[in-house]
Chain A
Amino acid sequence: MKFYFALQYRRLKHYLREIGINPYITFVIVIIVFVLLSNRFFQKIAYAYYIYPFFAIAILNSFGNKKRNEFLKNCFSVNDFRKIRLLENLLVFTPFFLFLLYKQQFIIAFSVYVIGALLSLFNKVNKFNFVIPTPFYKFPFEFTSGFRKTFWIFLLAYMLTYISISVTNFNLGIFPLIITFLTSMSFYFTQESIFFVWINSEKPAGFLWEKIKTAIFYSILISLPISLSLIIFFSDRAFIVMIFEILGALFVVTSLLGKYAYYPLEISLIPGFAIGFSFLFPPLLLVIISYFYSKSKQNLGSILL
C-alpha cells in the first residue's frame, strides 16, 4: 500500500516533468493558487461555505472510476483497497478541510471529512447505464458525452441561480453562469483518439468551423436558462449578463482551439498560462484565439488532408 502511494507520487512528478514543469515549484504554486482562489471565492460569493465542499467532491469524481477500482480490487486485498480509497479521499479533502478550519467553519470542515470518508465506499455516480437524454445528440460527441458526465453540475448551477434570484444576490447568480461555461470548457480537455479526427471529410478550416459553431451554440444553449433568468430578474444588469455570455462562449472556443493546436499532444505550459491569464485580462482572448486557430489549422493539416 505504501508502494502504491509512492508510485502515484512518482507518476505525478513524471507527468509534470513531461509537460516541462518542475514538480516542486508546481506544488508551491498550486498551494498559493489554492489559497488565493479560495479566499477570493469566500470574498465574492455568498453562502460560499456550502458551495465550497462541492469542489472537493468534483475532484473526487475520477477516483470512483469503475475500471480503476476494479483494477485496485484485483491488485489489493479488500481491506487494503478500502484503506487506499479512504486515504485518497481524505488527502483530496484535506486542503478544503484546512481552509474551512482557517475560516472557522468547524462543523462544515468536519462534515467535509466525513463526506470524504463516506464517498470512498462508492464508485463514480454517473457510471450507471441509464442514458440521459440531451439536446446535443445531433452533433456528438463533446457536449453529448460531457453533459452526461457532468449533468449534476448544471443542475446545481440552475439551483444556485434560483437561490440567487430568491435572495436577490446578483453576484451569486453570475457564479453558476461562470460554472456552466467552465464546465463546457472542460469538455475539450480530453483528447479523442486520432481516428475520430481522421474520419472527417472536411479540410482543417471546415472541421474547425463546424466544431466552433457547435461549441458556441451548445454552450450558450446550456447557459441560457441561467442568463435569461438573470436578465429577467436583474434587468438593470442585463448588459453584464450579456458580457459574461459572450466571454463564456469565447473561453469555450479558446479551449476547443487550444486542444487542436497541440493535438494529439496535451496543451503545453505557456499557452496554458496564457489562457489562465486571459481570465484576468479577457481582451487577450482575441490574440490567443487567432494564434490557436492558425496553429490548429496547421496542426490538423497532416490528419485532414
Chain B
Amino acid sequence: MIVIKSLNKSYGNKIVLKDINLSFKRGEIVGIVGENGAGKTTLFKCITGLENYQGSIEYDNGIIKNTTGFLPTNPYSLSRITGIEYLQLLVNARKIKTSNLKDKNIFDLPLNQFADTYSNGMMKKLALTGILLQDKEIFILDEPFNGVDIHSNIMIKEVLSKLKELDKIIIISSHIFSTLNETCDLLHYLKNGEIIRSADRSEFEMVEDEMKGSIIGNRIDKLGLK
C-alpha cells in the first residue's frame, strides 16, 4: 500500500500540489483525473521520486522507486536506438534476465526500426512494453491511452485488468473519462493542485457531470456559435 500524507509541491512561488492525502491499495486501479496543468504528472513524479516534495509518501514493501514502472505522458526516447535495444536497455537497467525480447512484443511494434522514428502512440506502446518487462509491483501510467490506436487501447485495458488480477498497485491518469470509467475502481479529481473529489464506481457518473459543469460551464456559449 502507498500512503501519501500532506504532500505539497511548488516551483518557486507557484504551488503545484496542495495538501494531497491519498492511499493506493494492491489489486486496485486508481484513476487521477483533471485538466491540463492540474498537477497529475507532478504528483506522479513525486511518487516515483523524480521530484522533491514536502510531506510524506510511504510504501509498505520497500523503496517505491525500485518497484515502480513509470510510463511518462511523452515517453523519453534516445536517438539511434532501435525498439529492441530500448527494451534491452530497460531490462538491463533492472538486471532482469529475459530471453528473446521479440516474443514479448505484444503490440507488434517494428522493433528493428529506430525508436526515435516511432509515432507518439508507438513510442507509448514501446515504453509500456518495457516497464511491463521490468517485473514491477507498482505501475504508474500517465495518460496510457493517449495517442494509441483502438486495438492497442483494448490491449492496454486487458493488461491493466491482468495487473489488477496479479494484485499490483496501479495508478493511471487520463483526459478521456470513458476509459477511466471502464478501467478504474476509484477516481480522484485533481483541480489546481488539490484533490477536490474522490469517487468509487457508483459515483463515477456524478463526477463526470461535476467535471463537465466545472470545466465547460457556459464557456462554449461565449463563442456565440450559430
Which of A's residues lie within 8 Å of B, judged by CB? Answer: 126, 129, 131, 137-141, 144-145, 148-149, 192-196, 198-202, 303, 305
A131 to B81, CA, bound (A): 9
A145 proximity list for chain B (CB < 8 A): 78-81
| Docked-complex contact B80 and A149, CB < 8 angstroms | yes
In the complex formed, the residue of B with least CB distance to A130 is: B114
B117 in the interface, Cβ–Cβ < 8 Å? yes
B65 shortest CB reach to chain A, Å: 5
**Contact among A129, A137, A202 for B114, CB-based, below 8 A:** A129
B86 in the interface, Cβ–Cβ < 8 Å? yes
In the complex formed, the residue of B with least CB distance to A137 is: B85
In the complex formed, the residue of A with least CB distance to B90 is: A199
| Docked-complex contact A131 and B50, CB < 8 angstroms | no
**Contact among B65, B78, B80, B95 for A198, CB-based, below 8 A:** B65
In the complex formed, the residue of A with least CB distance to B86 is: A140
B88 in the interface, Cβ–Cβ < 8 Å? yes
| Docked-complex contact B50 and A198, CB < 8 angstroms | yes
| Docked-complex contact B88 and A138, CB < 8 angstroms | yes
B54 in the interface, Cβ–Cβ < 8 Å? no
How many of chain B's residues have a CB under 8 angstroms from any CB in A?
Answer: 28
A199 proximity list for chain B (CB < 8 A): 90, 93-94, 134
**Among B81, B94, B117, which residue has the most Cβ atoms of chain A within 10 A?**
B81
Given A140-B89, A201-B94, A305:B82 Cβ within 8 A: no
B124 shortest CB reach to chain A, Å: 14
Residues 69-96 (chain B) with a chain A CB within 8 angstroms:
70, 72, 76, 78-82, 85-86, 88-90, 92-95
**Contact among B78, B82, B85 for A196, CB-based, below 8 A:** B78
**Contact among A129, A131, A193, A196 for B89, CB-based, below 8 A:** A196
Work out how many contacts link A and B, with CB atoms closer than 8 A.
67
B96 shortest CB reach to chain A, Å: 9
B102 shortest CB reach to chain A, Å: 13
Which of B's residues lie within 8 Å of A, judged by CB? Answer: 48-50, 63, 65-66, 70, 72, 76, 78-82, 85-86, 88-90, 92-95, 112-114, 117, 134
**Contact among B48, B65, B76, B80 for A148, CB-based, below 8 A:** B80
Given A131-B113, A141-B81, A149-B79, A200:B49 Cβ within 8 A: no
In the complex formed, the residue of B with least CB distance to A148 is: B80
A to B CB contacts below 8 Å, 11 in the list: A140-B92, A144-B80, A145-B78, A192-B76, A192-B78, A196-B89, A196-B93, A198-B48, A303-B49, A305-B49, A305-B65
A248 shortest CB reach to chain B, Å: 23
**Among A129, A137, A139, A198, which residue has the most Cβ atoms of chain B within 10 A?**
A198
| Docked-complex contact A195 and B70, CB < 8 angstroms | yes
| Docked-complex contact B66 and A201, CB < 8 angstroms | yes
A121 shortest CB reach to chain B, Å: 23
| Docked-complex contact A141 and B117, CB < 8 angstroms | no
| Docked-complex contact B94 and A140, CB < 8 angstroms | no
A305 to B49, CA, bound (A): 9
B126 shortest CB reach to chain A, Å: 13
| Docked-complex contact B76 and A193, CB < 8 angstroms | yes
B92 proximity list for chain A (CB < 8 A): 139-140
Given A201-B94, A201-B95, A141:B50 Cβ within 8 A: no
List 5 extra interface pairs beyond A141-B85, A305-B63, CB under 8 A.
A137-B88, A192-B76, A198-B49, A199-B93, A305-B49
